[in-house]
Amino acid sequence: MTYYLDQLLNGLSLGSLYALIAVGYTVVYGIVQLINFAHGEIFMIGAFGALSTWIVLSWVTGGSTAWWNLPLMLVGGMIVAVLTAVLMERFAYRPLRNAPRLAPLITAIGISIFLQEFVRLFYGQIPGFPDAKAAIPFPQLEFFTGPAIDVGGLQVHRGNFFVMAALLICWIFLWWFVNRTATGRAMQAVSQDPDTSRLMGIDVDRIIVVAFAVGASLAAVAGLASGLRYGNIDFKMGFLAGLKAFTAAVLGGIGNINGAVVGGLTLGVVEAMATTLIPGQFGGPAWKDVWAFVLLILILVFRPQGLLGAKVVDRA
Amino acid sequence: MLEVKDLVVAYGKVKAVKGISFSVEQGQVVSLLGTNGAGKTTTLRTISGLLRSESGEIWFEGERIDRTPAHKVVMKGLAHSPEGRKIFPRLTVEDNLRLGAFARKDTDGIARDLKRVYDLFEILYERRAQPAGTFSGGEQQMLAIGRAMMSRPRLLMLDEPSMGLSPIMMQRIMSTIRALQSEGVTILLVEQNAAAALKLSDRAYVLEVGQITLDGTGEQLLGDDRVKRAYLGED
């Protein structure tokens, strides 16, 4: 029993990671109907931004792994991720705003490759930074990593706690931002009707930048969480994570923030449970990606609008 | 107050507006009449900045605005309630109204104007927490007008405010327009219901395939034989 609970918890924490990234896909899609396939790379860049912040700090602190490194690494990761996302929007996507849909999609793939190669080739070139051609160990901060915590007989990895708590906080913040601030209301308006939004005095270009920035911030949180959870990061970590998070966004209903969270958690749990419950040849960790994408295919066939998708009340 | 000079607007190669000129004076109600495809909606969308003109000039309160982006035109005091109402269906009534005041920063003034809209349309107050998409056509139209009022415009452009409404609702909307005028709001009206529009109008222009073919005071046009035949359904 404990074993299954353990796996469930594992699934929820993996799912939280997917959910944090999935929000970025869904928010941008909701505003510009664009699948930003380079978003996985923003997650990777967020992790590298956090690591870089720690490396720079360590020149002063001598490599301290005290807990207070965390907020600084988080801010560093966010700044780098948001900056990358905003530049990407400004110079790659904005000129294609009125182009056929295929153009930004191919551009996204190009940006993705560019960002991966950029990190792979240049990271180690910066004096004092480790070579990024192989996986880099991520600083193991005290309190956030270390011996598992005993919760009623369950041994819970601290990184798992961190990522689940991070999702919860981000989700609450996002809810507040979207529903309780003028900018959030403007985001909803633009996602429903961009032209009429402009008539309200909303600068649609600015809202699009905000959407990219919000997605990138959460991806940076996920990047840091991922480093703490797995203990290392590498330049291609964004590829599979991005694909899974995209699956999660579609699973929950693309364009729907709550859907991204529900989709992420569902995908994480399904992956963990499939690994645990399916016996014999098709079970085990080697098959988890297969089951994740089988789930995507099933959703696309039987419920293409996603779990929480499109209960749209339109004009009466 | 508003001056349109030799305005030409095209969709690709097709010219929808072919060099029209007209003006709206402070405090007036001015109507643009014409059949479908005459270029009325195109004209309004160009004035509010949603479309770019090919040539010609648009002046608002002494300032040229034909290259100003739409979100900045609103801030200058020119609001546009678009054809088909275009309320935000998944937002509540109150959120819709607050979006109308998006460009404003005066919290007190916004609260006062919100109350003014609720006083004018009681049903909006009763249903302020409901998603606007659940409303009937007439209620959505009230919301659309209320939302446009929330930016406190000096010039309000209304595109087909009576479309699809019952005669009673239609009367409500027309008397609202009159009330707004008496508060000092200038109105540029596009309307299918020519008779109702002309009764309200200080001045009216008739558009036919992108050109102004007739203009005069509301009364003059009500009595004009060609208008009677083409738009008022009289022989």
d(CA B221, CA B209): 19
d(CA B10, CA B55): 10
pLDDT of residue A312: 41
Best residue in A200, A206, A207, A210 for a mutation probing chain B (most B CBs within 10 Å): A200
A33: left (phi > 0), else alpha (psi -120 to 50), else beta? left
Q: Is the pLDDT of residue B49 over 50?
A: yes
pLDDT of residue A74: 97
Per-residue pLDDT tens over the stretch A7-60: 899 999 999 999 999 999 999 999 999 999 999 999 999 999 999 999 999 999
Query: Does the CA dihedral A14-A175-B145-B30 come out positive or negative?
Result: negative
Higher pLDDT, A75 or A312: A75
Q: What would the DSSP string read from start to end of A250-289?
A: HHH-TT-HHHHHHHHHHHHHHHHHHHHHS-GGG-SGGGHH
Query: In terms of pTM, does the model score above 0.80?
Result: yes
**CA–centroid distance for B61 within its chain:** 17
Give contacts of B140 with chain A, Cβ < 8 Å: 315-316
Per-residue pLDDT tens over the stretch B116-137: 999 988 899 999 999 999 998 8
pLDDT above 70: percentage of residues in chain A: 98
pLDDT of residue B137: 85
pLDDT of residue A313: 37
Contact B53, B66 (CB under 8 A): yes
ipTM: 0.91
Distances in whole angstroms, Cα of residue A183 to Cα of each of A97, A176, A203, B145, B153: 21, 11, 10, 22, 22
Q: How far is B91 from chain A (nearest CA, A)?
A: 8
Contact B161, B137 (CB under 8 A): no
pLDDT of residue B235: 57
> For the range B35-38, what are the long-range contacts, defined as Cβ-Cβ under 8 Å and sequence gap of 24 or more?
B35/B208, B35/B230, B37/B209, B38/B207, B38/B208, B38/B209, B38/B210
Nearest 10 degrees: Cα torsion A50, A51, A57, A59: -160
d(CA B220, CA B31): 13
Please name the helix (run of DSSP H) or strand (run of DSSP E) that holds residue A104, with its range, or none.
helix A102-122
- Pairing between β-strand A232-233 and β-strand B2-11 as defined by DSSP bridges: unpaired
Contact B45, B81 (CB under 8 A): no
Alpha helices in A132-193 (DSSP H): 158-180, 182-192
Interchain proximity B98–A185, CB inside 8 Å: yes
Please name the helix (run of DSSP H) or strand (run of DSSP E) that holds residue B80, with its range, or none.
strand B78-81
A18: left (phi > 0), else alpha (psi -120 to 50), else beta? alpha
Q: How far is B225 from chain A (nearest CA, A)?
A: 37
Give contacts of A181 with chain B, Cβ < 8 Å: none
Where do the DSSP E strands lie in B90-222?
Answer: 155-159, 186-190, 203-208, 211-216
For B73, other C-beta atoms within 10 Å of its C-beta total: 24
Interchain proximity A192–B91, CB inside 8 Å: yes
Beta bridge partners of B158: B81, B189
A2-302 CATH:
1.10.3470
Interchain proximity A201–B88, CB inside 8 Å: no
Token pair for residue B204? 């009216």
Contact A20, A218 (CB under 8 A): yes
Among B32, B20, B80, residue whose Cα is nearest residue B56: B20
Alpha helices in B136-212 (DSSP H): 137-149, 167-182, 194-200
Give contacts of B46 with chain A, Cβ < 8 Å: none
Q: Characterize A219-246 residue by residue with b for buried, 16 or more Cβ atoms within 10 angstroms of its Cβ, and e for exposed.
A: bbbbbbbbbbbeeebbbebbbebbbbbb
d(CA B11, CA A168): 48
Among A38, A85, A21, residue whose Cα is nearest residue A252: A21
Token pair for residue B155? 């010039």
Per-residue pLDDT tens over the stretch A208-231: 999 999 999 999 999 999 999 999
Residue carrying structure tokens 């419950």: A277
d(CA B91, CA B168): 27
pLDDT of residue B78: 95
In one letter, which amino acid is A82? V
Interchain proximity B103–A200, CB inside 8 Å: yes
- Pairing between β-strand B14-24 and β-strand B29-33 as defined by DSSP bridges: unpaired
In one letter, which amino acid is B213? T
For A55, other C-beta atoms within 10 Å of its C-beta total: 18
According to DSSP, residue A95 is labeled G
A215: left (phi > 0), else alpha (psi -120 to 50), else beta? alpha
**CA–centroid distance for B89 within its chain:** 20
Interchain proximity B69–A198, CB inside 8 Å: yes
CA angle, A290 as apex, A256 and A241 as ends, to 5°? 50
pLDDT of residue A311: 46
Interchain proximity A192–B140, CB inside 8 Å: no
Q: Is the pLDDT of residue A315 over 50?
A: no
Give contacts of A316 with chain B, Cβ < 8 Å: 133-137, 140
Residue carrying structure tokens 């004035």: B47
Contact B26, B51 (CB under 8 A): no
In one letter, which amino acid is A315? R
